[in-house]
Amino acid sequence: MDLFIIDFLSKYRYIESLPSLKFLILIDTGYTYLYIRMLRAPSLYGVGHDALKDDPLLQQRRKDLIHTAALTLDKNNLIKYDKKTGQIQSTELGRIASHYYCTNETIATYNQLLKPTLSEIELFRVFSLSSEFKHLTVREVECGFLLHV
């Protein structure tokens, strides 16, 4: 599952205004880089030649991707997703995560590790596991300083 789709859906600020999953699939994902790449190189994205013939606009593939992303976000309490009707409803946690650009991976970590009884040092350890920090590197000049801290 492409994490881009999950983060794309979680960053959708006005998710409560979406009438359904069908609206999101037909309107928004048709203009993404992923969709254009899937049309140009379908085999790289798991779309077979027969599937492309049956569904040239890849509506079913987009529906599957968005459905999987919605299930993941629902599992992490970022949205409420009704599988039967396709209705999507935002949650307070989802709005906060969207506002502060927290990824789904970060929220999953917080949901798993945050407890009301954590000490301050444990709380900092949990926050340091945020996926937003994984690409930060420690500079050479900071290594000596960190050893003394």
- The larger pLDDT score, comparing residue 82 to residue 10, is at 82
Q: Answer yes or no: is pLDDT of 20 > 70.
A: no
Task: Output the CA angle 26-96-76, nearest 5 degrees.
Answer: 70
User: Rounded distance, CA 114 to CA 98, Å?
Assistant: 19
Q: What is the CA radius of gyration of the chain?
A: 19
Q: What is the pLDDT of residue 1?
A: 47
Section 84-97 average pLDDT? 86
Q: Is 55 helix (H, G, I), strand (E, B) or coil?
A: coil
Burial 14-34 (b: 16+ CB within 10 A, else e): ebeebeebeebbeebbeeeee
Q: What is the pLDDT of residue 120?
A: 95
CA-closest candidate to residue 2, choices 57, 50, 59, 66: 66
